Amino acid sequence: MPEAVTIFLEQLESWILALAASAWVYPAMFGFATIDGFFPPLPSESVVITLTVSAHATGTPWLPAILVMAALGAWCGDQIAYSIGKAVGTERIPFLRTARGRRAVVWARRALLHRGASLILAARYIPVGRVAVNMTAGAVGYPRRRFMAYAAIAAATWAVYSMLIGLAAASWLGHNTLLAMGVGVLAGILLGVVVDQVVQRLTRRKMAEAEAAELAAEEAERAAAAAAADQEPCPEPCTAEAAAGRESA
């Protein structure tokens, strides 16, 4: 299976380079970014990085247009993922039924309740994580307009981030275009893994603090209710024995 994926990515890279000088590269970039929003095996970050390195080396394609198409496609893909989650939930999505997918959904469901904005923004940099978060947002009824606004910010920053990785790789290894592409793609994957780990740790800590605060509030409410019950006046007719019984209880 890993060999098949490697062969597919190599063929994809060759096809992207052949397409780079064509006007079709811009709608293709939009399509890659859109599909990646709900089908993470298609690596749109790799496409952005590869095209950025190609533009640095050959002058084509035009990077501002690639940036816009990547951001628009990413935003549209996130909306599709939200709609899928709202329509069918996350249980029927095959890659979210794997062990990793289920963990991502559980994490996303809990985190959305406490830190929805930061989670949506950070998850855009995590291939499987963003799909889990966006579909879960739809499944749990996260406000659509708020989601659209956060997804727009996330898509724009993600496109810039991916392009900066490509530019850094091209500047460092400009003498070898293919090597620069490989290093850039690898750097994008590794940074995604790092972001994933950082976000999960921060989210777990924040959720633990929120749960502790909720438990403390519930304990305080129960204590207040018990104290109020002890101070209730004895109903009529009230005898000394009944009052003594209440006090002893």
Work out the pLDDT band at 35, boundaries 50, 70, 90: very high
Q: Which helix (H) or strand (E) element contains residue 109?
A: helix 99-123
Domain match, 225 and 188 both: no
Domain match, 140 and 231 both: no
Domain match, 71 and 144 both: yes
Domain match, 241 and 174 both: no
Most confident of 149-158, 176-185, 238-247: 149-158
Domain match, 150 and 229 both: no
Domain match, 205 and 96 both: yes
Q: What total number of domains does the chain contain?
A: 2
Domain match, 195 and 244 both: no
Average pLDDT over residues 4-21: 68
Domain that holds residue 238: 217-248
Domain match, 93 and 112 both: yes
Domain match, 139 and 237 both: no
Domain match, 162 and 239 both: no
Average pLDDT over residues 242-249: 50
Domain match, 182 and 224 both: no
Residue 1 has pLDDT above 50, yes or no: no
Question: Which of 55-59, 91-95, 117-121, 148-152 bottoms out in mean pLDDT, i.e. has the lowest?
Answer: 91-95
Domain match, 230 and 202 both: no
Token readout for 208 is: 């633990």
The tens digit of pLDDT for each residue in 120-152 reads: 888 888 777 788 888 888 888 888 998 999 899
pTM: 0.66
Cβ contact 69:119 at 8 Å: no
Cβ contact 85:134 at 8 Å: yes
Alpha carbon distance 143, 123 (integer Å): 17
